[in-house]
């Protein structure tokens, strides 16, 4: 198995971000707290994650005191992936899947809970360095032969290598806030899911207790960049990551965006984790 990429760049079949930008130079988006032309953000984000790829999993443990593992476990348990009795194996797309944390958990759950050894995960990410780390990790797992997991470079706003109505489950964990055009990515998610397919997102969100939010903001902006400097020798990338969390929409706003993309949501459409430090959003294609 190898990390594969479509022909051309990660936007194969579309105009590159730079080409699009030259046609719409007035369009800007945020990169952390900075406003940048839309066509520049993709490369800026790619540079950040290339810089942190080798230390990404270690820094996740350090920054969250390991709590991110509990969030990911809860995310996968909520989705309960696996072939049901008499059903076909699942086709799962893990977007911005980087080092494979969610993909491995989903395959483990399907295998161990549902005795499903056929459901597959396609892990896509815009950053080849992150995918290489995930591929390297996969070689130490029971999925090393590549029959149930594949890694491919893709831009989440286009997903040009993923056929329409082909996936049962779309997951994205701690990645969607880095997308240049989130509504476009949500529309792409809706397009590639089968009718009845589930969109599921785990992302940092807004703390819902005032005093805890004050403490969390102080920790985020004063401590996490310092950790990035000490552990990964990269303060700037972790400063961006903190800022990207602050700029991400609230739980209700993001649920509205998911609904606007054509998904049906149940209730409020989200579940808070650890007082809203993170949240799980789900929607169904009907």
Residue 20: what pLDDT?
Answer: 43
Cα gap 43→216, rounded to integer Å: 29
Residue 26: what pLDDT?
Answer: 55
Both tokens of 257, joined, read 């965006």
Which secondary-structure segment (H or E) carries 93?
A: strand 91-95
Residue 27: what pLDDT?
Answer: 84
| Cα angle 51-53-54, degrees, rounded to a multiple of 5 | 105
In a domain, 197, yes or no: yes
Which secondary-structure segment (H or E) carries 213?
A: helix 210-222
Is the pLDDT confidence value at 18 over 50? no
In a domain, 128, yes or no: yes
Is the pLDDT confidence value at 258 over 70? yes
Torsion of CA 109, 115, 118, 124, to 10 degrees: 0
What residues form the annotated binding site? 99, 125, 155-156
pTM of the model: 0.84
Bigger pLDDT: 187 or 60? Answer: 187
Closest by CA to 241, choosing from 223, 253, 225, 222, is: 225
- Please state the rounded mean pLDDT for residues 99-109: 96
Is the pLDDT confidence value at 278 over 90? yes
What residues form the annotated binding site for S-adenosyl-L-methionine? 99, 125, 155-156
Most trustworthy range by pLDDT among 13-22, 58-67, 119-128: 119-128
| Distances 94 to 1, 170, 184, 234 between C-alpha atoms, Å | 17, 6, 17, 27
CATH number at residue 99: 3.40.50.150
In a domain, 7, yes or no: no
Q: What single DSSP character describes residue 153? A: E
In a domain, 4, yes or no: no
Q: How many domains does the chain have?
A: 1
- 11-18 contacts: CB < 8 A, separation 24 or more? 11/155, 11/158, 11/160, 12/160, 12/161, 13/158, 13/160, 14/155, 14/158, 14/160, 17/41, 17/42, 17/43, 17/180
Is the pLDDT confidence value at 25 over 60? no
In a domain, 141, yes or no: yes
**Non-local CB neighbours of 24 within 8 Å, separated by 6+ positions:** 38
Cα gap 206→171, rounded to integer Å: 20
36-45, 68-77, 134-143, 181-190: segment of lowest average pLDDT: 36-45
Bigger pLDDT: 44 or 129? Answer: 129
| Residue 205: domain span | 16-285
Q: Provide the CA 17 distance to its chain's centre, in angstroms.
A: 20
Query: What tens digit of pLDDT does each residue of 5-17 get?
Result: 332 333 333 344 4
| Cα angle 248-252-257, degrees, rounded to a multiple of 5 | 70
- Residue 23: pLDDT band with limits 50, 70, 90: very low
In a domain, 51, yes or no: yes
Cα gap 170→168, rounded to integer Å: 7
Helix, strand and coil content of the chain, in percent to the nearest 5, comes to 45, 20, 35
| Distances 164 to 123, 143, 168, 191 between C-alpha atoms, Å | 17, 26, 11, 5
In a domain, 235, yes or no: yes
- Please state the rounded mean pLDDT for residues 236-248: 89
């Amino acid at each position: 198995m190898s990390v594969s990429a479509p022909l051309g760049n990660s936007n194969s079949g579309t105009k590159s971000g730079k080409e699009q930008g030259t046609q719409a130079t007035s369009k800007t988006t945020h990169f952390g707290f900075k406003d940048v032309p839309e066509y520049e953000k993709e490369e800026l984000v790619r540079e950040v994650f290339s810089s942190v790829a080798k230390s990404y999993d270690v820094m996740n443990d350090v920054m969250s005191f390991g709590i991110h593992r509990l969030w990911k476990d809860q995310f996968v348990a909520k989705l309960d992936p696996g072939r049901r009795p008499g059903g076909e194996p699942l086709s799962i797309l893990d977007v911005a899947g980087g080092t494979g944390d969610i993909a491995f958990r989903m395959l483990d759950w399907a295998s161990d809970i549902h005795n499903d050894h056929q459901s597959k995960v396609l892990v896509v990410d815009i950053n080849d360095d992150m995918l290489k780390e995930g591929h390297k990790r996969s070689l130490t797992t029971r999925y090393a032969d590549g029959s149930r997991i594949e890694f491919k470079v893709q831009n989440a706003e286009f997903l040009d290598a993923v056929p329409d109505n082909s996936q049962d489950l779309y997951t994205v964990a701690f990645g969607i806030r880095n997308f240049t055009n989130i509504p476009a990515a949500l529309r792409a998610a809706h397009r590639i899911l089968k009718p009845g397919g589930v969109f599921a997102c785990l992302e940092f969100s807004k703390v819902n207790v005032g005093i805890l939010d004050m403490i969390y903001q102080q920790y985020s902006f004063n401590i996490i960049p310092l950790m990035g400097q000490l552990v990964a020798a990269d303060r700037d990338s972790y400063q961006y990551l903190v800022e990207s969390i602050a700029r991400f929409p609230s739980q209700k706003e993001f649920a509205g965006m998911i609904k606007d993309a054509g998904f049906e949501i149940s209730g409020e459409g989200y579940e808070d984790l650890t007082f809203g430090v993170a949240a799980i959003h789900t929607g169904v294609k009907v």
